[in-house]
């Protein structure tokens, strides 16, 4: 009887240990951008989108893409950051205006860093016999109101919702986004889909990241971003971010935000001291060294 009494705790420990070990192993196997508080949302999103890789699904939830558009909106803490994330779930402060907007030769306005990067990119494209022209660039909050109202008046609210950001949710107000065309006056008034068939577009797909630009609304992501394919809309995020996205095959800024920029994710990454990916861009030094 005494022997049984002595062995009882050991038996209990052996019964519990595998479960605890399995639990610890499962926790260690989660990607670093996994947030326990979002576990239920991850499961629901993955169930609704089984074709999306698990770690990408986690990132999309961290970027609030599982929520209804324009509900439970978060205000951007630092809209002046080059990597500021604006979407249908994240809004600019109502009074935000960039303080370093500059005019670009040939037309258009952007923040100084983005403008300089575009000029270098335009020059590189010209060296390749291509022409990049700006159709639209910086828009103030008031200009975005007018733009949204115009599209809504012509195509209805439903058409505007997938074509134009609501005021306060536009990257154009950041001064970091521009709509590009290959010749002045040749792009359609609303969609500009024709640009997606040009040599300039395919050049941008291959080289845009070398200057810090990304295609912001790629094809087949309307269910994630809430906007239709916009081959003309390019966003300046800085050379490092654009390069990481290119090298790691990250297609949307939503995924990048959910993996690296969401506040709780950043705390986890800092805690685990994840080193920044190496920045190596063969052949791009001449145009992008400053970024």
SS3 at position 188: coil
C-alpha angle with apex 9: 3 to 12, nearest 5 degrees? 125
Dihedral angle sign, alpha carbons of residues 185, 190, 196, 197: negative
Residue (of 171, 172, 170, 192) closest to 183 by Cα position: 192
Catalytic-labelled residue, pool 113, 171, 210, 230: 230
Is residue 238 within 8 A of residue 212, CB to CB? The reply is: yes
Give the C-alpha separation, 27 to 16, whole Å.
17
- Distance between CA 71 and CA 263 in Å, rounded? 19
Q: Alpha-carbon distance 138 to 41, whole Å?
A: 35
Residues 6+ apart with CB under 8 A from 186: 194
Q: Yes or no: say if 207 and 189 are a contact pair by the CB < 8 Å rule.
A: no
CA–CA distances in Å: residue 90 to residues 63, 64, 156, 170 = 9, 9, 24, 10
- How far apart, in whole angstroms, are the C-alpha atoms of residue 261 and residue 254? 10
For residue 234, give the H/E element and its range.
strand 230-236
- Interhelix angle 199-207/112-127, rounded to 10 degrees, is 120
Q: Please give the structure tokens belonging to residue 273.
A: 């001291």
Active site residue 43: no
Active site residues: 230
């Amino acid at each position: 009887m005494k022997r049984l009494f002595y062995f009882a705790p050991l038996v209990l420990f052996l019964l519990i240990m595998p479960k605890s070990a399995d639990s610890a192993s499962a926790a260690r196997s989660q990607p670093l951008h996994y947030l326990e508080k979002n576990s239920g949302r991850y499961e629901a999103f993955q169930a609704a989108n089984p074709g999306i890789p698990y770690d990408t699904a986690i990132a999309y939830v961290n970027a609030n893409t599982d929520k209804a558009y324009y509900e439970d909106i978060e205000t951007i803490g630092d809209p002046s950051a080059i990597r500021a994330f604006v979407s249908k779930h994240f809004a600019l402060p109502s009074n935000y205006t960039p303080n370093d907007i500059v005019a670009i030769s040939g037309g258009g306005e952007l923040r100084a860093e983005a403008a300089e990067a575009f000029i270098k990119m335009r020059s590189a494209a010209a060296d390749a016999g291509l022409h990049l022209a700006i159709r639209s660039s910086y828009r103030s909050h008031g200009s975005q109101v007018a733009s949204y109202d115009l599209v809504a008046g012509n195509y209805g609210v439903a058409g505007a919702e997938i074509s134009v950001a609501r005021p306060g949710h536009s990257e154009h107000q950041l001064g970091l986004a521009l709509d590009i065309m290959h010749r002045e006056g040749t792009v359609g008034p609303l969609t500009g889909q024709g640009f997606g068939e040009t040599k300039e577009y395919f050049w941008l797909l291959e080289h845009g990241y070398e200057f810090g630009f990304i295609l912001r609304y790629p094809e087949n992501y309307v269910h994630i971003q809430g906007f239709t394919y916009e081959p003309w809309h390019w966003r300046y995020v800085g050379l490092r971010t654009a390069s990481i996205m290119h090298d790691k095959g990250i297609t949307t800024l939503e995924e990048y935000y959910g993996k690296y920029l969401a506040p709780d994710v950043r705390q986890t990454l800092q805690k685990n001291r994840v080193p920044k990916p190496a920045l190596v861009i063969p052949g791009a030094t001449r145009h992008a060294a400053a970024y």
